[in-house]
A and B are shown apart, each in its own frame.
Chain A
Amino acid sequence: MVVADSGPARGRPRLGLGACLVAAVRGVALGALVLAEVVLLLVLLGSVFLAVFGSGALTAGDNGADAGRRSLLALLVLGAGLAMIRYAVPPVLLAVRRVARLTRLLTWRWCGVAIPETYRRPPADLAAKGYFARLRWLLGDAATWRDLLWVLVNAVVGWLVAAASAMLIVVGVVAFLVPVVSRAVPPPAFPGNTKPALTIIGFAMVATGVAAAPWLLRGYGLLAAAVLAPSGQAELVSRVRHLSQTRSEALDTGAAEIRRIERDLHDGAQARLVAMGMTLDAAGQIIDSNPDAARALLFEARDASVKALAELRALVRGIHPPVLADRGLADAVRALALDTPLRIHLASDLHGRPPAPVESAAYFAVSELLANVSKHAAARETWIDIRHTDRMLRIGVTDNGHGGADPARGTGLRGIERRLAAFDGVLAVSSPPGGPTAVTMEIPCELSLPKTSSC
């Protein structure tokens, strides 16, 4: 789930001539979205209609000569309706969702109106579950119904608001041009249809259209927000659901991590220390009778301590890498880059340090991504970009490998996504077959000021 931070509504629209014309064109583009929506709506209504009509015709008592043929026809209609409900409705609902997402994106970019998104996360094993689980997930989500309502509202008035200024401009230009081109064709006779009047009307329409464009665009955005934005309650419910889910996942990950560390210590360093103690004890027993053998045992104990230290070092690297603690994210990633066989280009622009947990999560995410790249992508080069803008830590990892990475299949990417979610962070993957693969992570956080050093 993506919880859009309801960003700052941008101020008054820009009112220059260019900006107005751009606004008019954008209005047309927004208005054109309604075409896609109407098609989707027709499919939805059509499937329900066919099913209802078919079953109605089937149950209607009939005693005509061609009753058999008619009921066969009714059966066919009913079947078609049911098949559409079975196979077309969930994809169409998802398509409606996609159009609504696009609308949200465009109202934010173009109209300066932010509309938060509160779709429910799909249940974990949705693909394995059946049709009804899918339908329940979609129809049980208030956001789906808001999307559908928006399709209706947009089809009736929305597109008119969006495209009004462009239409005014076009009609105005036509009216303006009529006197010019109508020398050959006599104008139709109705009152007021004189050349000067048409010119004035045309000019007025164009001027109104141009001047109103930004305001109409803004109005369209507000209309969309009124329909699409969740109520405060719904937003809170969705936020709480997100928080409790990510919290329990974070706790699970933490607990699993602690178990792993315990096991590593138990099987590694602890076991070696026990062995060392026994070796030292044996050396003590024979030191008088056989000094040479005792010396050999002492050296053995020393080697065991070196191995124990090496294991502890590896363990510490896995918990909290020393460079990360010393120098922060950028240098830690640089050190990581030095240790991998990939050719890595690092660009970082961090003036300060993110909070330690965020820093650590980001580091391990990058580390896992690099491991993925060297394991699967067959990439020669990798670009890492780390920056902090708009209170958001953004990290991009791009490789020139063969692509085809799918977060739905690999557990690695899902794991990263889950860990970032604990910080309200998100992960986006673009990996077309043939590459390149670009992974972008965003974690909202503030930077602390860089430490000043004395030497």
Chain B
Amino acid sequence: MRVVIAEDLFLLRDGLTRMLQAHGHEITAAVDNGADLLAAVTKEAPDVAIVDVRLPPSFTDEGIRAALAARREVPGLPVLVLSQYVEQLYARELLASGSGGIGYLLKDRVFDSAQFVDAVRRVADGGTAMDPEVIARLLARNTGNASLGALSPREREVLALMAEGRSNAAIAQRMVITERAVAKHTASIFTKLDLQPSDDDNRRVLAVLAYLEG
């Protein structure tokens, strides 16, 4: 994969670069602010951009805005946003366009390089990768959404794993059921959430979005 990294802390930028190179990926640009990120993604057309939420000059949610701007600039550009903390509010904003290729992970996840690189790959392939903490906090509250309420506990479990960006095969392995059973659950979820048959990836994103909207 060809990767662009936007991270203002040198140590992390360097660490990410080395880790991804060790896994055989090419770092086409490693920048430290939002403006350079925009320039890099338009010039390099990478497979995926990895963006820190806090970037200069404001050190607030610059990274979220830069990521959304980059996706406007390069439609469909897969972006993985990294942060010291995760907020449902930001997860919703990132997914709001309804198209895939979005990840939102805690920085801690880089500690497990195999899983992290796996998440990067899923995002680059147009899937989603929501941090388990976003999902955990969603599960902690009982939503008042009627169509979500119609989901069975099993289907909710599948949806939560789907939000993390797991494939049907991975979900089947995690829940110790067959892949056919997972496919049945996902089909039922799509029906209950009233998502028309279309490109499966896109429907997965929309289902996750409905989940986040709660």
Q: A453 near B65 (CB under 8 angstroms)?
A: yes
Are A338 and B214 in touch, CB under 8 angstroms?
yes
Q: Which of B58, B89, B108, B112 has the most CB of A within 10 A?
A: B89
Return the contact of A305 from the options B38, B60, B111, B142 (Cβ within 8 A): B111
When distances are taken between beta carbons in the complex, the residues of chain B under 8 Å from A306 are 108, 111
**In the assembled complex, B46 has its CB within 8 A of some CB on chain A:** no
Which of B80-88, B119-127, B151-159, B171-179 touches A? B80-88
Cα distance A335–B86 in the bound complex, in angstroms: 11
Residues of B within 8 A of A334 (CB): 89
Contact stretch, chosen from A9-17, A76-84, A91-99, A315-323: A315-323
Contacts of A305 in B (CB 8 A): 108, 111
User: From B64, which residue of chain A is reached at the shortest CB distance?
Assistant: A326
Known contacts being A306-B111, A322-B87, is A327 close to B35, with CB within 8 Å? Answer: no
- The answer to whether A340 and B38 touch across the interface, beta carbons within 8 angstroms, is no
Q: How far is the CA of A455 from the CA of B55 in the complex (A)?
A: 12
In the complex, B41 has a CB within 8 A of chain A = no
List B residues 22-66 near A (Cβ within 8 Å). 34-35, 38, 58, 60-62, 65-66
| Closest Cβ neighbor of A335 among chain B residues | B89
The distance in angstroms between the C-alpha atoms of A339 and B143, with both chains bound, is 10
| Cβ contacts under 8 Å, B141 to chain A | 339-341
- Bitwise, B102-124 to A at CB < 8 A (1) or not (0) is 00001110011000000000000
Q: CB distance B111 to A335 under 8 Å?
A: no
Known: A335-B89, A339-B137, A455-B66. A325 touches B60 (CB 8 A): yes
User: Which residues in window 339-376 of A have CB below 8 A to B?
Assistant: 339-341, 343
Contacting residue for B89 out of A310, A317, A331, CB 8 A: A331
Give residues 198-214 of B contacting A (CB, 8 Å): 214
Known A302-B111, A325-B60, A455-B34; contact A339-B88, beta-carbon cutoff 8 A: yes
Q: Which of A317, A326, A343 contacts B144 (CB 8 A)?
A: A343
Interface of A is mostly: helix
A73 contacts chain B at the CB level, 8 A cutoff: no
Chain A residues contacting B85 (CB-CB under 8 Å) are 313, 316-317, 322
Tell whether B69 is near chain A: CB-to-CB under 8 Å.
yes
Cα of A7 to Cα of B59 in the assembled complex, Å: 40
Residues of chain A within 8 A of B62, CB atoms compared: 455
For B84, the chain A residues whose CB sits under 8 A away are 309, 313, 316, 322
- CB proximity of A386 to chain B, nearest CB, Å: 16
Using a CB-CB cutoff of 8 Å, which residues 147-202 of chain B contact chain A? none
CB-CB nearest in chain B for A314: B85
A317: chain B residues within 8 A (beta carbon): 85
A309 and B108 in contact (CB under 8 A), knowing A326-B61, A339-B141, A341-B142? yes
Interface check A451, CB cutoff 8 A: yes
A353–chain B nearest beta-carbon distance, Å: 12
Residue of B nearest to A316 (CB): B85
Judge whether A454 and B35 touch: CB under 8 Å: yes
A141 to B84, CA, bound (A): 54
Q: Is the CB of A455 within 8 A of B38?
A: yes
Assembled-state Cα–Cα distance A331/B93 (Å): 12
**Min CB gap B65→A, angstroms:** 5
Closest to A322 in B: B85
B52 to chain A, nearest CB (A): 13
Within A288-334, the residues touching B (CB, 8 Å) are 302, 305-306, 309-310, 313, 316-317, 322-323, 325-327, 331, 334
Least CB distance, B130 to chain A, in whole angstroms: 14
Cα distance A454–B107 in the bound complex, in angstroms: 25
Known: A326-B61, A338-B214, A341-B142. A455 touches B69 (CB 8 A): yes
Closest to B144 in A: A343
Complex CA–CA separation, A455 to B112 (angstroms): 32
Q: Within 8 Å CB of A339, what residues of B?
A: 88, 137, 140-141
Give the CA-CA distance A267 to B61 in the complex, in Å. 31
Measured CB to CB, the nearest residue on chain A to B68 is: A455
B34 CB → nearest A CB, Å: 5
Least Cβ–Cβ distance between B8 and chain A, in angstroms: 15
Candidate in A317, A334, A335, A338 with the most chain B CB atoms within 10 angstroms = A338
Which residues of chain B come closer than 8 Å to A455, judged between CB atoms? 34-35, 38, 62, 65-66, 69
Please give, as numbers and ranges, the residues of chain B lying within 8 Å of A453 by CB-CB distance.
58, 65
**Among B58, B84, B141, which residue has the most Cβ atoms of chain A within 10 A?**
B141
The 5 closest A-B pairs by CB, nearest first: A326-B60, A326-B61, A341-B141, A335-B89, A338-B88
Given contacts A302-B112, A335-B87, A455-B34, 8 further A-B contacts (CB under 8 A): A306-B111, A309-B108, A327-B60, A338-B88, A339-B137, A453-B58, A454-B35, A455-B38
A sample of 7 cross-chain residue pairs with beta-carbon separation below 8 angstroms, ordered by A number, consists of: A302-B112, A322-B85, A323-B87, A326-B61, A343-B144, A451-B58, A455-B66
**Chain A interfacial positions (CB closer than 8 Å to B):** 302, 305-306, 309-310, 313, 316-317, 322-323, 325-327, 331, 334-335, 338-341, 343, 451, 453-455
Report which B residues bind A (CB closer than 8 A): 34-35, 38, 58, 60-62, 65-66, 69, 84-85, 87-90, 106-108, 111-112, 137, 140-142, 144, 214
